[in-house]
Every structure is written in structure tokens, then in C-alpha cells.
């Protein structure tokens, strides 16, 4: 893995503070994602992992801190603009448009592409053949695993620089999880940087290059994924062993 | 995977499949009920059926706009009826230039009806080309008004993530405001676009219809079709449906949802204006009429499935036919009093809300 | 929180009081006797309308039942009390079921002066409670906006029944000549002060009762339900049952209001019970005054009715005719605008609550941020 100097970082988050209403969830979180890296964020429930994602993509307005995409400061921009600049987000739940067909879902993913969406869509179908078979089916009728694939495909329509994944394996049967992670790795292999929040810490650490451990809205540990996987402290506290 | 786990997944998909099947069956049953009711009404009392279609086409036009707003923006717009009436009055003003002064009307020196031949009847219709022109003016005016109201009232509430109730109460407040405005500008006395009595045509089975009524029906069907094409065949329409499904997901797909909202109001505003003009053409220009039709229009939109234009068309027609033919029904040996017609709409509404809230074509919840 | 309500509430209260006192005084040439009589009439109406806003507050502010058909209960209460206490004029064209009250009065203790009215009010209240009870079974299963539409339908149906069923309550002609309690004890001039006293006593009793109820164990469950519905349900409390009870109690209060209204008014007819005058106005009063809040309910009635009186008073001043003809439309527009303004700028109303008691109001005014893609589902609760 090439050394990541700060200007090779695709995404940088510095001292991010965010919350809902009167409650503050993130108390100053810092992380970075390098070119082509897969970075995992693990930690106990309530650590603020989902809030972190939402604050980066603009669904939640940060109160302090910075989000930087390459050299550009995108802190606090509305989601439409963040996405247009190359950060795509796969939410944890409700991540497809249920009454739209698979094809229409992808069209929406590629909304900003206008006419060019068609060819991008064919590429998506090549990458996700199970979806190609179901182009005209309503997304609401897909199984859990298929839906996650669709959510992923939708987010990839814009060829993002960095992809945010919020607990992609949540609620999936083990076989679907395997398939999903295989796909995620495949996509990462094509050079898309990824930031993945996961409850399934072990699986995430196996996939990722680097990882951060978040607890109570603050950074706790960070390092190469292998190290964290082997670390006793992580195993004890966060992997529950 | 162990046999147990496999069995479990199978059971789960089986149960899901069962639920889909039960839901699909309920849908089929509802369609069967609706279609057989319509067929039955057509056969047993064709004259009431025809009146029902006529009244229903006005309801349908109203329901189109309502279902679009309810579906995409997710709130019940209780100001819908009064917006329609305002559209009708704006068209009236564009056509005649008349506003109420102190005791008599104040007249603009020129208005659309002073254009050559504007009031000459088009074929057998009661109005000339002036009225459609005036309707176009009203459509633009309403679209602008709706955008303005959205910006002033509904958008701040959206930003604040206010609950459905607050939107509804706010729309009630706006409804009162609009009604008062109409009363101030044109007074409480009903007005008509065209004065005079016009004969109806005789059709078989004792059906009497005026050309205007046939025209209204055709417009309703045509607009329902157009809105369907918009929602299901255009990029903008698909974005509207995406917004209806999941606004946040739409935003993170890169869709500028506020612009979609504006376009939704533009389309709805135009629909509202057309619906208002045709309602007024059918009945009269009367500020009180707006609120009165809300109940059957809501019933029709909900029966058809919120957000679906074809559903709105069918639902509105069913409600109207039911209302009109209810006069012929008997309860305990007595005929149903025509006063109870709105009650029919209410019963349909309650039945659907309790038994199958998504109606005929609504999204699965 | 109390401080925040402070100056705006005080200003509104003083402005209304000043207008309501000074305008008639000045117009009548400072005839304080006449002004006093006028103020009594004003206060009676405020007291009666407060009963409705209090009832609505119990239904919505405390139990989250979105009743857009208040006028149905208003009508039912008023008609029930009227029909009960009024004998149909002999040989007239009026046909209705009624007049039971005077027949029931015991001859002692001046029975006929108060017994029919008390029983009539109880009948009105019970019938409204029964209606609410029956409605609650379908109603509480509906999502809030669907419930709103449905309750509008209920009100419409009620009016249909009154008009269509000839012989029930005299359809469009309505009931006239409704007697008044203790009328023979006072001179006509003094009677209105007595009735004001009566209305205020009823209001005070209802107010105190609802305040007590909110702080009772029952009320505590309602409050816990508001704070966290899931937790309350999980602790074994039947959420729907509590909401049903609040719905019924609120309806009974409205029924009582209808009765007090009918006795004061002396006549009821279907066209006085419009959606605007029987539902919308109470919602406006409650929201302006302070939703979820009993004192706010009363204050809202005072302020909004003050607005009504002011508009009437303005007619006494020299105004251009075009304006004069439109005074009532302007008044309605101001009310609609006021409601929208309050919702936008000060959603908690004039009198915010002492503490965050009504989560229904809180929740309905500002939903907690949804999980991405939370769509209002078909069942009752649309929140995340």
C-alpha cells in the first residue's frame, strides 16, 4: 500500500462535530480516506457512525469541523451538491425507491448524467447481472440481498470518487452478506475509495485497508485493519471476545 | 447453510410471498368490486350513471392535482378546493375583466371577451375560444401562486420537518384566506361564465348530456393520461415519484428536490386551474364551493391510490357514480334522501382507509 | 419557559381587552351600563368557546387525536340539549323529537327551572361521549391526516342527518324558543349577568377538572405516553385505551359546551354549524393561544373572539362602503393569516407550556430527524 500523504487523500474529515436538535452525537471526529483505499469505521452502537456518514454527505449539518474532498471544502453543503462533487452514499435502511423499477432506480442514481445515464446503466447491469435479470421489477419486491445490490449499483451510477456505505450487511442472511462483501471488494478493486461503517466488525476489518474505531462520538483507535484485527484490546472491547 | 437456516429463509420468503399474495388478492378483489359496481350502475340506471360520469370527471380533474401533491409532497392540501375556485375566478377575471366594486362590478376596459369572436360558441359547446385562453392565464397565475405559497408557508414547514398535522392546519388557514379573498374581490353571489340555458342532447337509455359535459369528461381522461405519461415516462416524473418514495434518498442521488417541488406545484397549479374552470362551468362560480367538494375528491383520490393519476380518475368516477346512483337505493323501505350524497363518499372513504388504505393503485406501505 | 410567553402574551391580552372595552364605550358615548352588558355577552361567548377549546385540547394536545370534525360534537351537544328541554309549539309546523325535560321535572325546589337543563346538559355530554366512543374504534387506527379527512366527513354526515331526517330535529328550520335555566328569577336585563356567572362556573369546573386529570395517575400515563409511546406500550399500558378515554372525555366537554351554548342562544339551526364557525375557529383559538395547554386554550378563545368583536365594532365607525361590506371577509382573512403566521413564527402559541408536556404537539410541530427514507406508513404513527 503506497504511503498516503495528505494530498493523496480523497476524503478528509477534521474534528467534525454534529448532532440532532439539542443532542450532540459527534464530538470532534477525524479521519481520512486515501486514493483507492477501503476504510472501515467500527464501534459499538450509538457511537455515532451513521451520524458521521450523514454529516459527510450533508443530510445532517455539521456544527464544527471540516469535510474536505480532495482539496475542496464541502462542509455543510446540501446532499445534492456533495453527490454532484463525487461523494455517493448508500444508506443503511430504505436505500432504494420501492415503487420504482430496478431500472428506474438506476436512472435516479444517474439523474445528474442526463442522457449519458443509459450507457452507465448498461455498465451497472454488467457489474450486477442479478439486477439485469430484474430490470423491470419494482424495487420493493426484491429480496434483502438484491436490494442492497441495487442500492450499491444506484450509488455507483455517478462514478463517485468515494463511496460511503452505512452498515451494508445489516439485516442480510449470511449468504447474501458474503455476496455483498465480495461485490464491495470487487468495486474497491476498480479504484473506488470507500468509507464503510459496519456493525460486523470482524468482516469489515478483513476487507478494509485501514480502520477507525469510534465510540461515544469520538475517535478511539485507528490503524491498519490487520493490526486492529489482531489487537487484543479491540477483540476484547469491540469484538466482544 | 445449515438445514435449519435454510428452512428459516425459505419460511421467511414463503411468508413474504404469502403476504404479497394476500395483498395482491385484496387488490384484485377491490378492482373486481369497483368494476362490477360501475357495470352494474351503468346497466341498472344509465341516466344516473351518466350524471355520475359527468360529476366524476370534475372530481377527477380535482383529484389529479390533489393526488399529485399528496403523493409527491406528502401532505393533504385542504386548500385544494379553494385554489380551484380561485383559478376559476382568475379565468373569469381574465375573460370578463369584472371585479366587485362598492355595489356594482368594476370593469376593466378590455378583457379577453373583447377579442373578436372570443365569445362565439365553439361548435356545440357553450363557450368560445376566450374561455380556454382565460384558463391558460389562470393556469399560469395559479402555478405562480402555488410556488409562492410553497416558498412562504410550506417550505419553511418542510425545513422544520413539521408533522403532517401542521401542514394540514396551515393549509386550512390558507383555504380560509383564499376564500375570503374571493369573497372580497367578487362577492358571495354566484356567477357564471356564460349566461343562458342550453339544451342537452338525448342519448340512448334515457341519458341526457350537454356537450360541455362530454367535453369535460374528455378533458379529464386526457389529462389523466398526460399526467400518467409525465410520471411514468419522463425523467422529471420519475424524479417526482422518487421524491414521493423517499426524499432523502432522492437528495443523495443528486436530485435537487426543491426544484422538483417547484415543478410539481407548476403542474399541480395548472391542473387546479383547469379543474376549477370546468367545475365552475359545470356548476357555478361560488367561493363556498371549494370546500364542499373536498370530501368526495379526497375519497376518490384515496380510493384510487394516492399518487396515481389513473387511480385518481377511476376513484373519482366511482365515488361520483356511487353518489348519483345512491338516490335510487333503498334503506328500510325508504329511498335514500339526496342530502346524503356526501355521506356516500364518506362511507367509501372510511371503508378504504380501514380495509385497504393504499386504494386501487397506491404504493405498497 | 414561562418567561418566554411573557410579554407577547401580555401584550395580546391587553390589546384585546383594551379594544373590547374602549371601542364600545367610545361608540356608545361612554354609557357604562350598556358597555357592561356588552362585555357580559362577550365574556359568555368566550366562556362557552373555551369549553370547546378545552375539549379539543384534551383530544389533540393530550391524546393526539386529530379531530377536524369538532362541529359534529358541537352540533350534537347543542341539539341534544335543545331537543331535550324544548317543547314543540303546539299546532305549528315544527316536528321533532323532544320536550322530555320539562316532563321530568320534579315539582319541588322549583324543579322546572333547573332540572331539565342539568339533565339536558348531561344528555348532551353523554351522547357526545358515546359518539366519540363509537368513532374511536375506526378512528384511532387511522393515520393523522386520514383521521382529519375522516372527521370532516363525520361532521358532514351529521349535518346531513339533521337536515334529511324530517321529524328528528326539525331539519333546516331548527329548534327555537329554547328555555333558559332560572329565567323567571331575574329580569331580562339582569339575566345575562346571571348566565355569565353560570357559564364561568361551568368553565372553572371543567378547567379545574382537566388540570386535575392531567396531574392524576391517569394523566401521568397520558404524559408518559406522550414522552415515549413505545416505552409506555412496552410497560403494558394499553395505549389505544388511554387515547380513547381522552377522546371521549374531550367529546363530553364539547357536548357540555354545546348545551351551554344552546341555552344561551335560545335557538339552533343547521346553518349556524359550519365547518368554519364550528371547527376551524376552535383550532385557530387553540393554536394561537397555546396548544397542548389548558390556559392557552382559554386565552386563545379570548384573543380570537376579541378579534371578532373588534371587527363588529369597526362597523360602527365611518368607513368607506366598499370596506364596510367586506369587514367580515377581512376578519376571516386575518384569522387565517394569523393562524399561518403563528404556525410559522411561533408554533407553540402565545402561552407555551410550563414544561415540555405535550410531546404530541412537539412531535407534530417538529418531527425528530427521520432515518433516511422514513416514509409515513399506512398505519397510525408516521414518525421515526
In this complex, the residue of B161, B174, B346 whose CB is nearest that of residue C340 is B174
Kindly state whether C320 is in contact with chain A, defined as any CB-CB distance less than 8 angstroms.
Answer: no
* pLDDT digits 0-9 by tens, C99-126: 666 666 666 666 667 778 888 899 999 9
Q: What is the per-residue pLDDT for C374? A: 36
Alpha helices in C266-314 (DSSP H): 275, 281-289, 294-314
* pLDDT digits 0-9 by tens, B230-286: 999 999 999 999 999 999 999 999 999 999 999 999 999 999 999 999 999 999 999
* pLDDT digits 0-9 by tens, C315-340: 888 888 888 889 999 999 999 999 99
Q: How confident is the model at residue A22 (pLDDT cuts 50, 70, 90)?
A: confident
| CATH class in words for C2-365 | mainly alpha
Q: What is the per-residue pLDDT for C378? A: 32
- Give rounded-to-5 percent helix, strand, coil for chain C: 70, 0, 25
**Dihedral, CA atoms, B168, B171, B176, B181, nearest 10 degrees?**
-170
Contacts of B245 in chain C (CB under 8 A): 373, 375
B278 Rama class: left (phi>0) / alpha (psi -120 to 50) / beta: alpha
Contacts of B252 in chain A (CB under 8 A): 57, 59, 79, 83, 88-89, 91
Kindly state whether A22 is in contact with chain C, defined as any CB-CB distance less than 8 angstroms.
Answer: no
CB B85 within 8 A of CB B188: no
Secondary structure (3-state) at C96? strand
Q: What residues does each domain of chain C span?
A: 2-365
Interchain CB distance below 8 Å, B239 and A111? yes
pLDDT exceeds 60 at position B41:
yes
Environment class of C330 (CB within 10 Å of its CB; exposed 0-12, middle 13-18, buried 19+): middle
- Chains in touch with A (3+ beta-carbon pairs under 8 Å) read B, C
Q: What is the per-residue pLDDT for B157? A: 93
Q: What is the per-residue pLDDT for C137? A: 92
Interchain CB distance below 8 Å, B354 and C280? no
- In Å, how far is C162's CA from the nearest CA of chain B? 10
Q: Which secondary structure element, helix H or strand E, spans residue A13, and what is its range?
A: strand A9-20
- In Å, how far is A147's CA from the nearest CA of chain C? 14
DSSP string, C118-161: HHHHHHHHHHHHHHHHHHHHHHTTS-HHHHHHHHHHHHHHHHHH
* pLDDT digits 0-9 by tens, C235-290: 766 788 888 999 999 999 999 999 999 999 988 989 899 999 999 999 999 999 98
Q: In this structure, what C-alpha cell is assigned to residue B260?
A: 422538483
Kindly state whether C376 is in contact with chain A, defined as any CB-CB distance less than 8 angstroms.
Answer: no
- Name C294's Cβ contacts closer than 8 Å, sequence gap at least 6: C54, C57, C207, C210, C211, C214
Interchain CB distance below 8 Å, A60 and C375? no
Contacts of A112 in chain B (CB under 8 A): 254
* pLDDT digits 0-9 by tens, B284-304: 999 999 998 999 999 999 999
Look at C223 and A206; give whichever has higher pLDDT.
Answer: A206
Secondary structure (3-state) at C26? helix
Residue ranges and CATH numbers for the domains of chain A are: 6-237 (3.40.50.300)
Describe the crossing of helices A117-127 and A102-109 by its angle, rounded to 10 degrees: 120
Query: What's the pTM?
Result: 0.89
* pLDDT digits 0-9 by tens, C42-79: 999 999 999 999 999 999 888 888 999 999 999 999 99
- Name C71's Cβ contacts closer than 8 Å, sequence gap at least 6: C155, C158, C273, C274, C275, C277, C278, C279
- In Å, how far is C339's CA from the nearest CA of chain A? 25
The Cα–Cα gap between A161 and A35 comes to 9
Kindly state whether C383 is in contact with chain A, defined as any CB-CB distance less than 8 angstroms.
Answer: no
What's phi and psi for C161, nearest 5 deg? -60, -45
Q: What is the per-residue pLDDT for A108? A: 94
Residue among C228, C361, C211, C233 nearest C286 (CA): C361
In this complex, the residue of A59, A88, A94 whose CB is nearest that of residue B246 is A94
CB < 8 Å from A in window 334-373 of C: 368-369, 371-373
Interface-testing mutation among C370, C372, C377, with chain A (most A C-beta atoms within 10 A): C372
Contacts of C333 in chain B (CB under 8 A): 176-177, 180-181, 184
- Name C218's Cβ contacts closer than 8 Å, sequence gap at least 6: C242, C245
ipTM of the complex: 0.91
Length of chain B: 365
Interchain CB distance below 8 Å, B1 and A175? yes
For residues A54-79, average pLDDT: 92
In this complex, the residue of C368, C369, C372 whose CB is nearest that of residue A94 is C372
Q: In this structure, what C-alpha cell is assigned to residue A205?
A: 476489518
Give the residue on B whose Cα is nearest the Cα of A95.
B249
Which residue carries 359568555 as its cell? C44
**Dihedral, CA atoms, C346, C351, C354, C359, nearest 10 degrees?**
-50
Give the residue on B whose Cα is nearest the Cα of A117.
B235
Kindly state whether B125 is in contact with chain A, defined as any CB-CB distance less than 8 angstroms.
Answer: no
pLDDT exceeds 90 at position C347:
no
For a pLDDT cut of 90, what percent of chain B falls above it?
65
The Cα–Cα gap between B328 and C362 comes to 48
CB A182 within 8 A of CB A149: no
The Cα–Cα gap between C89 and C95 comes to 9
Q: Which secondary structure element, helix H or strand E, spans residue C6, and what is its range?
A: helix C2-27
Amino acid at each position: 500500500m503506497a504511503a498516503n500523504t495528505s494530498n493523496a487523500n480523497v476524503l478528509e474529515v477534521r474534528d467534525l462535530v454534529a448532532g440532532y436538535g439539542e443532542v450532540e452525537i459527534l464530538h470532534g471526529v477525524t479521519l481520512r480516506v486515501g486514493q483507492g483505499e477501503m476504510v472501515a469505521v467500527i464501534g459499538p452502537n450509538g457511537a455515532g457512525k451513521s451520524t458521521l456518514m450523514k454529516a459527510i454527505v450533508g443530510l445532517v449539518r455539521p456544527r464544527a469541523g471540516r469535510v474536505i474532498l480532495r482539496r475542496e471544502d464541502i462542509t455543510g453543503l446540501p446532499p445534492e451538491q456533495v453527490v454532484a462533487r463525487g461523494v455517493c452514499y448508500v444508506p443503511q435502511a430504505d436505500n432504494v425507491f420501492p415503487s420504482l423499477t430496478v431500472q428506474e432506480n438506476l436512472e435516479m442514481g444517474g439523474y445528474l448524467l442526463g442522457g449519458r445515464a443509459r450507457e452507465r446503466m448498461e455498465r451497472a447491469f454488467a457489474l450486477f447481472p442479478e439486477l439485469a435479470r430484474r430490470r423491470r421489477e419494482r424495487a420493493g419486491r426484491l429480496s434483502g440481498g438484491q436490494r442492497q445490490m441495487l442500492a450499491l449499483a444506484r450509488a455507483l451510477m455517478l462514478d463517485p470518487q468515494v463511496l460511503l456505505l452505512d452498515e451494508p450487511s445489516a439485516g442480510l442472511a449470511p449468504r447474501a452478506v458474503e455476496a455483498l462483501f465480495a461485490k464491495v471488494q470487487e468495486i474497491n478493486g476498480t479504484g473506488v475509495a470507500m468509507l464503510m461503517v459496519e456493525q460486523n466488525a470482524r468482516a469489515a476489518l478483513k476487507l478494509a485497508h485501514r480502520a477507525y474505531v469510534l465510540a461515544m462520538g469520538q475517535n478511539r483507535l485507528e490503524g491498519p485493519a490487520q493490526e486492529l484485527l489482531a489487537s487484543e484490546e479491540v477483540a476484547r472491547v469491540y469484538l466482544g471476545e | 447453510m445449515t438445514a435449519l437456516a435454510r428452512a428459516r429463509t425459505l419460511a421467511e420468503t414463503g411468508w413474504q410471498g404469502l403476504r404479497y399474495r394476500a395483498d395482491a388478492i385484496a387488490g384484485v378483489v377491490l378492482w373486481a368490486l369497483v368494476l362490477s359496481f360501475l357495470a352494474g350502475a351503468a346497466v341498472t340506471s344509465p341516466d344516473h350513471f351518466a350524471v355520475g360520469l359527468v360529476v366524476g370527471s370534475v372530481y377527477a380533474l380535482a383529484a389529479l392535482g390533489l393526488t399529485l401533491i399528496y403523493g409527491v409532497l406528502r401532505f393533504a392540501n385542504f386548500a385544494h378546493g379553494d385554489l380551484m375556485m380561485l383559478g376559476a375566478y382568475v379565468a373569469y377575471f381574465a375573460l370578463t375583466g369584472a371585479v366587485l366594486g362598492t355595489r356594482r362590478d368594476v370593469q376593466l376596459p378590455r378583457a379577453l371577451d373583447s377579442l373578436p369572436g372570443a365569445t362565439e360558441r365553439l361548435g356545440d359547446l357553450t363557450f368560445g375560444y376566450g374561455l380556454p385562453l382565460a384558463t391558460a392565464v389562470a393556469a399560469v397565475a395559479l402555478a405562480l401562486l402555488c410556488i409562492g405559497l410553497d416558498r412562504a408557508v410550506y417550505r419553511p414547514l418542510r425545513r422544520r420537518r413539521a408533522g403532517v398535522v401542521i401542514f394540514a392546519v396551515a393549509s386550512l388557514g390558507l383555504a380560509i384566506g383564499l376564500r375570503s379573498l374571493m369573497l372580497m374581490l367578487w362577492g358571495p353571489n354566484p356567477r357564471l361564465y356564460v349566461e343562458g340555458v342550453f339544451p342537452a342532447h338525448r342519448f340512448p337509455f334515457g341519458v341526457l348530456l350537454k356537450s360541455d359535459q362530454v367535453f369535460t369528461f374528455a378533458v379529464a381522461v386526457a389529462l389523466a393520461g398526460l399526467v400518467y405519461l409525465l410520471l411514468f415516462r419522463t425523467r422529471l416524473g420519475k424524479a417526482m415519484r422518487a421524491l414521493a418514495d423517499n426524499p432523502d434518498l432522492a437528495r443523495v442521488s443528486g436530485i435537487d428536490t426543491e426544484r422538483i417541488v417547484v415543478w410539481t406545484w407548476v403542474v399541480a397549479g395548472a391542473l387546479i386551474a383547469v379543474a376549477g374552470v370546468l367545475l365552475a362551468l359545470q356548476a357555478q362560480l361560488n367561493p363556498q364551493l371549494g370546500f364542499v367538494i373536498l370530501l368526495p375528491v379526497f375519497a376518490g383520490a384515496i380510493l384510487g391510490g394516492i399518487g396515481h393519476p389513473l387511480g385518481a380518475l377511476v376513484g373519482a368516477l366511482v365515488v361520483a357514480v356511487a353518489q348519483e346512483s345512491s338516490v335510487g337505493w333503498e334503506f328500510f323501505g325508504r329511498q335514500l334522501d339526496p342530502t346524503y350524497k356526501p355521506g356516500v363518499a364518506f362511507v367509501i372513504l372510511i371503508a378504504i382507509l380501514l380495509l385497504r388504505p393504499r386504494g386501487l393503485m397506491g404504493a405498497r406501505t | 419557559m414561562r418567561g418566554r410567553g411573557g410579554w407577547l402574551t401580555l401584550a395580546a391580552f391587553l390589546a384585546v381587552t383594551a379594544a373590547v372595552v374602549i371601542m364600545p364605550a367610545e361608540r356608545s358615548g361612554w354609557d357604562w351600563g350598556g358597555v357592561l352588558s356588552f362585555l357580559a355577552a362577550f365574556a359568555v361567548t368566550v366562556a362557552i368557546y373555551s369549553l370547546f377549546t378545552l375539549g379539543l385540547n384534551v383530544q389533540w394536545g393530550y391524546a393526539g387525536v386529530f379531530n377536524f370534525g369538532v362541529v359534529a360534537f358541537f352540533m350534537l351537544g347543542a341539539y341534544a340539549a335543545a331537543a331535550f328541554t324544548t317543547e314543540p309549539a303546539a299546532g305549528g309546523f315544527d316536528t321533532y323529537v323532544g320536550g322530555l325535560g320539562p316532563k321530568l321535572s320534579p315539582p319541588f325546589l322549583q324543579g322546572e327551572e333547573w332540572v331539565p337543563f342539568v339533565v339536558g346538559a348531561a344528555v348532551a355530554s353523554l351522547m357526545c361521549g358515546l359518539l366519540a366512543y363509537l368513532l374511536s374504534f375506526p378512528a384511532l387506527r387511522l393515520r393523522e391526516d386520514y383521521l382529519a379527512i375522516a372527521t370532516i366527513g363525520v361532521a358532514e354526515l351529521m349535518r346531513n342527518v339533521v337536515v334529511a331526517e324530517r321529524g328528528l330535529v326539525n331539519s333546516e328550520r331548527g329548534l327555537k324558543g329554547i328555555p333558559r335555566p332560572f329565567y323567571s328569577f331575574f329580569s331580562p336585563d339582569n339575566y345575562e349577568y346571571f348566565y355569565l356567572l353560570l357559564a364561568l362556573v361551568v368553565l372553572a369546573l371543567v378547567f379545574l377538572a382537566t388540570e386535575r386529570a392531567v396531574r392524576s395517575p391517569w394523566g401521568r400515563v397520558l404524559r408518559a405516553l406522550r414522552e415515549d409511546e413505545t416505552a409506555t406500550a412496552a410497560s403494558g399500558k394499553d395505549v389505544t385505551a388511554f387515547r380513547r378515554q381522552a377522546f371521549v372525555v374531550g367529546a363530553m366537554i364539547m357536548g357540555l359546551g354545546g348545551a351551554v351554548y344552546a341555552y344561551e342562544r335560545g335557538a339552533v339551526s343547521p346553518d349556524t354549524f359550519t365547518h368554519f364557525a364550528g371547527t376551524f375557529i376552535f383550532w385557530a383559538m387553540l393554536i394561537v393561544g397555546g396548544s397542548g395547554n389548558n390556559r392557552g386554550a382559554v386565552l386563545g378563545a379570548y384573543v380570537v373572539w376579541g378579534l371578532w368583536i373588534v371587527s363588529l365594532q369597526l362597523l360602527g365607525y365611518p368607513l368607506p362602503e366598499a370596506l364596510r361590506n367586506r369587514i367580515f371577509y377581512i376578519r376571516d382573512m386575518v384569522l387565517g393569516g394569523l393562524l399561518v403566521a403563528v404556525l410559522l413564527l411561533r408554533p407553540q402559541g402565545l402561552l407555551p407550556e410550563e414544561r415540555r408536556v405535550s410531546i404530541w404537539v412537539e412531535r407534530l410541530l417538529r418531527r425528530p430527524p427521520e432515518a433516511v427514507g422514513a416514509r409515513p406508513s399506512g398505519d397510525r404513527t408516521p414518525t421515526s
